[in-house]
Amino acid sequence: KNEVEQSPQNLTAQEGEFITINCSYSVGISALHWLQQHPGGGIVSLFMLSSGKKKHGRLIATINIQEKHSSLHITASHPRDSAVYICAVVPGNQFYFGTGTSLTVIP
């Protein structure tokens, strides 16, 4: 049983489309992180959230603590956004990771 569920598992979009990736979790958390894993394997941190909403460039992350749900939105998607997006929750002081959403943006 995974405490963190992401949907969809795979997503293909046309360049310019608005994209939403969802993360649901079943435990109480202190924080939630969104990570991006590039095709070459490297992982970078995109956002850390404990409430509300954060925006960085074309990326927006929201969290609803009561509903145990977070979304990552990408506006005006571009082929360089193609990557695996990983949701990670922090119930105590360690990460629990989702299995990731693989995004492909077609030109």
Residues near another protein, by CB under 8 A: 2, 4, 30-31, 33, 35, 40-45, 48, 86, 88, 90, 92-100
- DSSP string covering 4-51, please? EEEE-SEEEEETT--EEEEEEESS--SEEEEEEE-TTS-EEEEEEESS
Compare residues 17 and 65 and give the one whose CB is closer to another protein: 65
**Residues 107, 79 contacting (CB under 8 angstroms):** yes
- Provide, rounded to whole angstroms, the least separation between the CB of residue 95 and another protein: 6
The residue (of 44 and 107) whose beta carbon lies closer to another protein is 44
As measured in angstroms, the least distance from the Cβ of 106 to another protein is 24
3-class SS at 62?
Answer: strand
